[in-house]
Amino acid sequence: MTDTTENQQRAYPYHPEEMRATWDLEVGKSITLQGNARWTPAGVVTAGIAASAVLLSLASLVRAAHRP
């Protein structure tokens, strides 16, 4: 049985084609923001499907609101 914690990073990526980005932003002397992102091709496809579903439903709501 292996013992892993949330803070440990794996030696291999979760998805072989994942893309990662990290950034640091300093605003003045007292504000520092750090962030990271992880994208996979499946995530991009899923986001596109979700955006299409939202836009399709929004279009039907706008069309229904303009009818008398």
Q: What is the pLDDT of residue 19?
A: 86
Structural domain count, the chain: 1
Q: What is the pLDDT of residue 17?
A: 80
Q: What is the pLDDT of residue 52?
A: 97
- Series of mean pLDDT values for 10-residue runs along the chain (68 residues): 58 72 92 91 93 96 85
* 11 assigned to some structural domain: no
Q: What is the pLDDT of residue 12?
A: 63
* 39 assigned to some structural domain: yes
Q: What is the pLDDT of residue 39?
A: 87
* 48 assigned to some structural domain: yes
Structure tokens at 31: 């504000």
* 45 assigned to some structural domain: yes
